[in-house]
């Protein structure tokens, strides 16, 4: 998949960047977002470090916690 | 998440519908698509029946096999 600059960007990369940006916009810590999404407190950090192969259900929970559509979490950055 | 009709549509529901539509457009069987994506031959069927909590890496593999961006597989239907 291509980012706007044309570089190939993995889904994990996109999710990590979009999660961090949307979380920062809302002034949420990684732990606070994990709590809102009812996920383990270290979960968000591991996603932002591209370490985790997240399940679709959990991406959906994070989108709901951030009040965005799931495609916003996977849009090119 | 809302579909165009406004009904709440889960990410699994969207993926199931978009996968089936894109697969049918290309005249691919479930097994043929699973093969292209290097996944078990029953994998696509279980997604289309909403049985599977797919990982992000596997959604990405399916998008690549269908030659679409990952957000197309999770767009509202």
Contacts of A53 in chain B (CB under 8 A): 55-57
Q: Residue B30: which of B51, B11, B48 has the closest Cα?
A: B48
**Structure token pair of residue A35:** 């709590």
Burial letters B24-36, b for 16+ CB under 10 A, else e: eeeebebeebbbb
Give the C-alpha separation, B57 to B19, whole Å: 15
Contacts of B56 in chain A (CB under 8 A): 11-12, 15, 53-56, 59
Mean pLDDT of the region A18-24: 98
Please name the residues between 30 and 49 in chain A that touch chain B, using a CB distance below 8 Å: none
Res A28: pLDDT: 98
Checking ipTM against 0.95, whether it exceeds it is no
Q: pLDDT, tens digit, for every residue of A47-66?
A: 999 999 999 999 999 999 99
Q: What angle do CA A33, A35, A36 make, to 5 degrees?
A: 65
Domains of chain A by residue range: 11-73
Domain B11-73 is classified in which CATH homologous superfamily? Answer: lambda repressor-like DNA-binding domains (1.10.260.40)
Give the C-alpha separation, A26 to A66, whole Å: 8
Calculate helix-pair angle for A56-66, A11-25, nearest 10 degrees. 20
Contact indicator for B19, B51 with CB cutoff of 8 Å: no
């Amino acid at each position: 998949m291509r980012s706007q600059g044309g570089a190939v960007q993995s889904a994990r990369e996109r999710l990590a960047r979009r999660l961090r940006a949307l979380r920062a916009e809302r002034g949420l810590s990684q732990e606070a977002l994990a709590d809102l999404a009812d996920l383990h407190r270290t979960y968000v950090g591991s996603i932002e470090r591209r370490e985790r192969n997240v399940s679709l259900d959990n991406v959906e929970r994070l989108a709901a916690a951030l009040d965005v559509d799931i495609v916003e979490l996977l849009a090119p950055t």
